[in-house]
């Protein structure tokens, strides 16, 4: 990849940075503060960012990019707190490739 090129690997790099903040000084790091506050606060922030992303989308607002970035960041913090690695999510997504979304959803109901 060329220097400065961006792709989905940014999420893996961001996750590594987020995970490294666990146990850090909450006075110096927003991420460390989220970890110190625990899962309820992390989940609350994720929900807030999800709502803000939806609002920006519905308003066809230029803020959609920033809100989406905030949403992804908070989702990665939640994964880190829950002990879920991005590779687990990527594997789940890969397993769904080539499968109808309707068929996949129906298979979950039958479990």
Per-residue pLDDT tens for 7-32? 889 999 999 999 999 999 999 999 99
User: Where do runs of H (alpha helix) occur along the chain?
Assistant: 9-20, 30-37, 39-58, 64-82, 86-96, 101-109
The pTM for the full model equals 0.84
By C-alpha distance, which of 45, 44, 43, 29 is closest to 81? 43
Mean pLDDT score across all residues of the chain: 91
Task: Delineate the domains of the chain, giving CATH numbers in brackets.
Answer: 10-86 (1.10.287.1080)
pLDDT tens track for 71-100: 999 999 999 999 999 999 999 999 888 877
């Amino acid at each position: 990849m060329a220097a400065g090129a961006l792709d989905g690997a940014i999420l893996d790099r961001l996750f590594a940075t987020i995970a490294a903040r666990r146990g850090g000084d909450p006075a110096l790091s927003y991420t460390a503060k989220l970890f110190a506050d625990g899962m309820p606060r992390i989940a609350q922030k994720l929900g807030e960012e999800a709502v803000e992303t939806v609002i920006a989308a519905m308003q066809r607002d230029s803020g959609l990019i920033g809100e989406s970035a905030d949403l992804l960041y908070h989702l990665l913090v939640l994964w880190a707190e829950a002990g879920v690695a991005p590779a687990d999510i990527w594997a789940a997504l890969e397993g769904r490739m080539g499968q109808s979304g309707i068929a996949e959803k129906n298979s979950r109901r039958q479990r």
